Amino acid sequence: MKEISKRSSLSEIEKYLKKELNIFSFDEQIHNIEVPGEGNMNVVLRIETNKKSFILKQSRPYVNKYPNIKNSEKRIIVEDQFYELIIKSEIQKFFPKKIDFIKKDLILLIEDLGQCRDMSYLYSSKNINLDHFNSLIYILESIHKTKVNSFPSNSSLKELNHEHIFVLPFQKNDFQLDDIQSGLKKLSTFITNDSNVNDVVKRIGDMYLKVGNTLLHGDYYPGSWMEKDDNVYVIDPEFSHLGFKEFDLGVMAAHLTMITESEDYLNKIIKAYSENIDKSIFYKVSGIEIIRRIIGLAQLPLDMSLNAKEKLLNIAKKMIMS
Q: Give 91-118 pLDDT, tens digit per residue.
A: 999 999 999 999 999 999 999 999 899 9
Q: pLDDT by residue (tens digit) across 241-276?
A: 999 999 999 999 999 999 999 999 999 999 999 999
Q: Are the C-beta atoms of 99 and 23 separated by less than 8 Å?
A: yes
In the chain, what are the domains? 10-111 (3.30.200.20), 117-320 (3.90.1200.10)
Q: In Å, how far are 32, 87, 217, 299 from 100, measured between CA atoms?
A: 20, 12, 20, 33
Q: Return the exposure string of 218-244: e unless at least 16 CB atoms fall within 10 Å of the residue's CB, then b.
A: bbbbbbbbbbeeeebbbbbbbbbbbbb
Prediction pTM value: 0.95
Q: How many helices (H) and strands (E) does the chain have?
A: 11, 10
Strands 225-228 and 117-118 turn out to be: antiparallel
CA distances from 51 to 20, 25, 30, 146, 287 (A): 19, 9, 9, 34, 47
- Confidence check: pLDDT of 38 > 80: no
Percent of the chain at pLDDT > 90 equals: 88
Residue 172: pLDDT band (50, 70, 90) is confident
